[in-house]
């Protein structure tokens, strides 16, 4: 079950209708055999797969954004948010098709916030757990200045709380009336992972 997509800005002012092709070598991060998912940069070629999860109201329930209704809006999102993002990866199965995405967004110089979203067809298979674990294993090496990876999960989003606990994030507490989600003020559970923590 998905957690909120972090810092999503749909009201992007810049418009770009050009296809930006990622010419870099796709850097695949492989998971343990049982889950068979890998992470790679997301591109505009992923637009149709993106629309599968981004239009699903079950997926967006705990996200700060409403389901997408047009392919143009999806393309704009990939151009304006995904491609410039400092650290965002598509979550892919063996066929390299994206079934979701995971990102680490800087909060300040030492803190990053993890967020992910996965198509509902792929829930219940441990995919989110594996994706979060992969990020937990790699992110502190890639970003040595990061001292804290945190996650904010809606109190009702029990599925994502379990994902983070399974990976080894520490549940720090419930931050009451912490965030406005779609017009409602929500209590959020704060989790953190430090470079010194052991993953489970």
Residues lying near another protein in the complex (CB under 8 A): 108-111, 147-148, 170-178, 180, 185, 190, 192, 194
Report how many helices (DSSP H) and strands (DSSP E) the chain contains, helices first: 4, 8
Of 14 and 145, which has the nearer Cβ to another protein?
Answer: 145
Closest CB 46 distance from another protein, rounded Å: 31
**Cα–Cα nearest to 83, from 131, 149, 12, 171:** 12
**CB of 148 or CB of 166, closer to another protein:** 148
Token readout for 196 is 């010194």
We find the least distance from the C-beta atom of residue 111 to another protein, in angstroms, to be 7
CB of 148 to another protein, least distance (A): 4
Residue nearer to another protein on the CB measure, 73 or 174: 174
- Cβ 139 to another protein shortest distance, Å: 14
Burial class (CB in 10 A: 0-12, 13-18, 19+), 8: middle
CB of 2 to another protein, least distance (A): 23
3-state SS assignment for residue 101: strand
Cα–Cα distance for residue pair 29/137, rounded to 1 Å: 11
75: closest CA among 141, 5, 167, 12?
12
Considering the complex, state which of residue 51 and residue 167 has its C-beta at the smaller distance from another protein: 167
Distances (CA, A) of 89 to 54, 96, 139, 200: 15, 12, 12, 22
The CA distance from 69 to 104, in Å, is 26
Which residue, 52 or 107, has its beta carbon nearer to another protein? 107
């Amino acid at each position: 079950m998905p957690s909120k997509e972090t810092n999503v800005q749909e009201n992007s002012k810049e418009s770009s209708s050009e296809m930006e092709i990622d010419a870099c070598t796709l850097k695949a991060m492989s998971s343990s055999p049982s889950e068979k998912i890998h992470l790679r940069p997301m591109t505009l070629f992923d637009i149709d797969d993106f629309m599968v999860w981004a239009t699903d109201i079950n997926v967006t329930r705990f996200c700060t954004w409403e389901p997408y209704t047009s392919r143009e809006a999806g393309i704009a999102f990939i151009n304006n948010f995904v491609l410039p993002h400092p650290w965002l990866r598509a979550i892919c199965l063996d066929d390299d098709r994206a079934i979701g995405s995971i990102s680490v967004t800087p909060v300040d110089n030492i803190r990053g916030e993890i967020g992910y979203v996965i198509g509902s067809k792929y829930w219940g298979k441990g995919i989110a757990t594996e994706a979060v674990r992969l990020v937990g294993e790699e992110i502190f090496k890639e970003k040595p200045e990061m001292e804290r990876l945190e996650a904010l999960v809606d109190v009702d989003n029990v599925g994502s709380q379990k994902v983070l606990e399974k990976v080894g994030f520490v549940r720090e507490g419930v931050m009451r009336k912490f965030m406005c989600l779609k017009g409602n003020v929500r209590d959020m559970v704060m989790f953190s992972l430090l470079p010194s923590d052991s993953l489970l």
